Structure 1
Amino acid sequence: MHNARPGFVRACLNGTSQVFFMENAWTGVLFFIAIGYSSYGTGAWATTIGALIGVVVATLTAIALIDDGDSISAGLYGFNGILVGAALPTLIEPSSLLWFYIAFGAAASTVVTAALSATLTKSWGIPGSTGPFVLLGWLMVAGAYSFGGLQVSSLGPVLATDYLQGASIIPSITELIEIFFRNIAQVFLLGSAVSGAIILLGIFIASVRAGIAACLGSIIAIVAAIVLRADPASVSQGLYGFSAVLTAMAVGAVFLAPGWRVAAYAGLATILTVVIQGALDAIMLPDGLPSFTMPYVAVLYLFMAPKKLMSPHGHVGTSSDHLLSD
């Protein structure tokens, strides 16, 4: 029992860091600091509390139900739980029932994660990633509209903007820097540029290559959104960048071998993520549902599927089966 507690805490911190594909407890600590900083700035601690409940319950559920100690220790059953825990208080008014709702969603995320691992990953080598969070996030926010004990915050449709009307407003350098960091922070549904900087530091501590990919993903997203004249308010808040950051990291630094071909592949995937972000926002927001990380998930699934066809040097029985190389 003496060793169980530190092991559990480390598994929770690894689960927190796995939101950005890292397995590093110190990175997880910095991520929680970033979440806490954002809550301190707004005076609303529900997101931090929800995130803590989410990762703890998801990890406990995995320990109780899943016979896969290595994956649990690596945090692979915790990251969808923490995202559920961070998202629901952002979209649903805090109440005693909300905490139960978060705990249930976090526990369910472990089962959905295991289901995708047993199907999508084992059959096609495609990581489930944040797919469980997206599915449960949609269902639980939509369900909250039907439950009197839960009050959904106002979510409105995308309306015509200055960009759509033809204006060519370019943010200032200071604004661009803030957007750069908000793109990263919004993965945890945080609007703080400082939180984004703390998260980026955590990524670099775990992997310099992943940190560079995150930076490039944020920059590409900013350029693509401005060129396409996306809603300036949404761009400023980082809402066109967070899925793109995840895509750039996943395709460019995590799941495929590095090289010029992978860099081009990741660039294409990142731009497509921005396009899908705009499409899903237009489709879903009028119905009161956010897109969450679905743009990233859709692109990841599509771009991981043909990876073997694009790799001329795959070796059966080794990890390079799952790598795209030059």
Structure 2
Amino acid sequence: MPSVTRSWDRLSDHKPLIGFVDACLRGPAQVVLQNNPLTGLLVLVAIAWGAFENGQPRILGGAVLGLVVGTATAVALRVDEPSLRKGLFGFSPLLTGIAVPTFLDDRPLMWLYLVLGAIATTVVTLALNAIFKTWGLTAFTMPFVLTTWVLLLAAYQFDRFTVLTNLKPMFPGEGQLSDGRFNWDLVPTFLRGVSQIYLINSWVTGLIILVALLVNSRWSALFAVIGTVGATVLALWFGADATSLDKGLFGFNAVLTAIAVGAVLHRPGALVTLYTLFGIALTLFVQMALTSMLTPLAIPVLTAPFNIATWLLLLPKRHFAPVANHERAKETVVSTVKHTV
């Protein structure tokens, strides 16, 4: 395997087309803060499985189109080559490409809307990273969140689109949480908490994503499991909506936080694990608060809770480990911003 990896790296270094494909393959992996084309390929397989399992093959098409358009936009804007090669301008457009066909009805204009959204996501990535660099942070997936929110809210004003979020606009406290229908077969629920990172409801997709993580980092895979189990159990304990629980909707943001804080930005250890467990709870509470805020608008929270919680956890700059030389931090989404956590 190492020889194959070296051969692929050499090929991508000398062949521009292969280099572009390599950057695109790393994009799906960078959603979960990994820099590995094989991990990215497995994530695409996971997305494909979930898309066809749920009878929505257009989601796979949207993911690939968003990924390619976002990466091509970065090339056109002449972003720095190392960041481009690591797939750092593909992961947020990939998520935008999944969100648009997920939340809007399928019609030809939707695909133009998706392309424009993917281009915008890359531009927003550059803008937010320039802003967050001031505090030694990076934008993570917030460009996808902001762009998708704008696209969905704008779609309400266009007669050619129908928004399919399945969310009923209401003020906090007006609706009723579903009760007693939670499926106590917890393992599939935990796995769906992983798959929902990519807006897919499939335990098989979640399992493939865990395998993809394991290919690059056993610590990332472990903390992904800790994230989905911890957040789901805590949400169950506090009496969260049973239907959302069963779909894994309270796990995916915590998975991202757990990977970032527990396995990528800090060297794994006892103190880091405790900090990560707190971060999982913080992420869940932020998600619940944002859900209350956004329910009147009938738009989903997406990965905003992960971004907010992780920024809050990083700003105190606790020196748990020498991150600058940590092997898990060298080649990830955070490597474009020079900072010490």
| TM-superposition CA deviations, 1:193-252 (whole Å, max 9, x none) | 001101111011011110001000011011111111000100000111110100111111
Which of the residues 76, 84, 105 maps onto 2:96? 84
- Identity rate of aligned residues, in percent? 37
Counterpart pick for 2:176 among 154, 160, 178: 160
CA offset at residue 181 of structure 1? 0.5
Matches within 5 A, 1:105-254: 105-120=117-132, 122-153=133-164, 154-157=166-169, 159-163=175-179, 171-172=183-184, 175-254=185-264
**Is the contact made by 2:266 and 2:322 (CA closer than 8 Å) also made in structure 1?**
no
Q: Distance in 1 between matches of 2:321 and 2:82?
A: 29
Q: Find the aligned partners of 1:233 and 1:313 in 2 and give their Cα distance.
A: 39
Deviation at 1:15, TM superposition (A): 0.7
Aligned residue number for residue 100 of structure 1: 112
Measure the CA separation in 2 of the matches of 1:207 and 1:280.
Answer: 31
Distance 1:319 1:136 in 2: 33
Instruction: Kindly state the Cα deviation for residue 66 of structure 1 after the two structures are TM-superposed.
Output: 2.9
Q: Tell whether 2:308 aligns with 1:298.
A: yes
TM, length-normalised to structure 2 = 0.87
Q: Report deviation, 1:155.
A: 2.1
Tell me by how many angstroms 1:147 deviates: 1.2
Is 1:311 matched up with 2:308? no
- Describe the SS at the equivalent of 2:254: helix
Q: Describe the shift of the 1:313–1:286 C-alpha distance in structure 2 as closer, same or farther (beyond 3 A).
A: closer
Q: Deviations over 1:75-133 (max 9, x none)?
A: 0010000000001111100111111111111111111111122220x211112100101
TM-score by structure 1 length?
0.91
> Retained in 1: the 8 A contact 2:266–2:320?
no
CA drift at 1:162: 4.9
In 2, the alpha carbon distance for the partners of 1:6 and 1:71 equals 16
Contact 2:272 2:320 in 1 (8 A): no
Opposite residue 78 of structure 2, the aligned amino acid is I
Tell me by how many angstroms 1:319 deviates.
5.1
Kindly provide the amino acid, as one letter, of the partner of residue 114 in structure 1: L
The answer (yes or no) to whether the contact 2:189–2:247 under 8 Å persists in 1 is yes
User: Quick check: 1:12–1:59 contact (8 Å CA) kept in 2?
Assistant: yes
The Cα RMSD (Å) is 2.0
Structure 1 distance, partners of 2:117, 2:256, is: 22
Aligned mates of 1:66, 1:319 — CA distance in 2: 28
Contact 1:11/1:74 (CA < 8 Å) preserved in 2?
yes
SS at match of 1:23: coil
Alpha-carbon displacement from aligned partner over 1:143-175 (angstroms, at most 9, x marks no partner): 000112221114225831255xxx6x7743xx2
